[in-house]
Chains A and B, each alone.
Chain A
Amino acid sequence: MPAGDAFTPDQLYDIEKAVRHAEEVSGLHFSVYVGGADSETRPFALELLNELDDPDHTVLVYVDPAGRRLEIVTGAVAKRQLSDAAAGLAALSMQTSFATGDLTGGLVTGVQQLGEHAHQAPLLHANEPHKQ
């Protein structure tokens, strides 16, 4: 690992695997950002969300290790699948791991939880917009 990188290749692989799994389970887009914020964490996380390709269907996990802050932001459509309460539960789980210095474990567990919470059983026509 090059000196100064946040994660080893193995750790990155684990996180990416959890992200892919969450996307497959939920059908949403997941993104994880680890780094410092230029401003307050919530507005910064919202800016990051808006930079993504499909913000409305995205769940962004933002971790500020220096500021010890975690933000989970769900897009306009994603929040219908992933409630704030479910996001709060995942945040609690991640918070516990981060407090012990385990960034990778916290991210993997948290993203997996978010994906599971956002999982919706396929219902015929239930999720389609009303057509006239």
Chain B
Amino acid sequence: MITEVSGHTLLVFVGIPALVLAVVALLVFAPSIANGPRYRPGLSWWAPPVWINGPTATKPDPAKLPDQHSLPELPAAPGATASAGAGVARSTGGASASW
């Protein structure tokens, strides 16, 4: 026996569940939509470089800086590595890690 489906029945059994699903989905995905793509280790990195507290525009001209050899002698820390960056022999320390 086929019964006639009224608009009210459709609203109760289809409309309301669909509305509930939509609200739940919105609550789940809202944070990621608001925050944009999230970093996932192992996947490619999409964003341009960010330098916080980087060099200022008023940095003095390197050519006018005193000769590196005139820097005061500093005691070397254990495990320190010698910097070869930018052709400057500057004693540095620090640590490395990977994940």
Contacts and interface: CB of A to CB of B under 8 A. Distances in A.
Interface residues of A, number: 70
B44 to A, nearest CB: 6
B37 to A, nearest CB: 8
B52 interface: yes
A32 B12 CA distance: 55
Contact of A68 (B59, B81, B93, B98): B98
A1 interface: yes
Contact of A35 (B50, B71, B84): B50
A98 B99 contact: yes
B40 interface: yes
A101 B38 contact: yes
B46 to A, nearest CB: 6
Interface string B81-99: 1011110101111111111
Contact of A65 (B39, B59, B75, B91): B39
A70 B99 contact: yes
Majority secondary structure of chain A interface residues (helix, strand, loop or mixed): mixed
A95 B98 contact: yes
A83 B45 contact: no
Contacts of B96: 41-42, 69-72, 91
Nearest to B42: A68
Contacts of B59: 51, 53
Given A16-B52, A33-B52, A83-B93, 18 more contacts: A4-B47, A33-B51, A34-B47, A42-B81, A46-B84, A50-B86, A51-B59, A52-B54, A53-B56, A56-B71, A73-B93, A80-B77, A84-B77, A84-B80, A92-B97, A96-B99, A99-B41, A101-B39
Contacts of A32: 50-53
A6 B46 CA distance: 8
A102 B35 CA distance: 13
10 contacts: A4-B37, A12-B50, A32-B51, A35-B45, A67-B98, A76-B71, A76-B74, A78-B93, A83-B77, A129-B72
